[in-house]
Amino acid sequence: MADTGIFATTEEVKRKAGANASTTSAVEAYINDFMTQAESFINVATTYNWSDAYSGLNADVKGILKEIASNLAAMYVIQFDMSGFTSRSEAETMLDVLREGALRGLSIIRNKNPQEFMINA
């Protein structure tokens, strides 16, 4: 099976989910599903189809989309099964950090001025 996500790869998501992530939810099939959901969420939340425009975007714009999507997908991996983490607190802290990164990125690309800049870059 191959990566089917547009914005980020399975390996990028695995790195963010951490060494203690579930071996079940950190497999490519699950991550491909999580990436599809994350990418769709980003497109709808920002009212712009970044997936369709992706190939024409510059590296900086692709980078912020990668950050948001991989953060969201890693959150899905972690929340699927937190039993491998040293404590529930460890997993929750990771979720908090990933959530903050995703929200920060979404706030940037939701703002129409930066969005217009990114589309025309």
Q: What is the pLDDT of residues 38-47, one digit of tens each?
A: 999 999 999 9
Q: Which residue's entry shows tokens 């709808």?
A: 44
Q: Taking all residues of the chain, what is their mean pLDDT, rounded to a whole number?
A: 93
pTM of the complete model: 0.91
Indicate if the alpha-carbon torsion angle 39, 40, 41, 44 is positive or negative. positive
Q: Counting beta carbons within 10 angstroms of the beta carbon of residue 79, is it exposed (0 to 12), middle (13 to 18) or buried (19 or more)?
A: middle
Least confident of 17-21, 100-104, 107-111: 107-111
Choose among 83, 52, 51, 55: nearest CA to 69.
Answer: 51
Residue ranges of domains in the chain: 10-120
Residue-wise pLDDT tens digits, 62-88? 999 999 999 999 999 999 999 999 999
DSSP annotation of 54: G
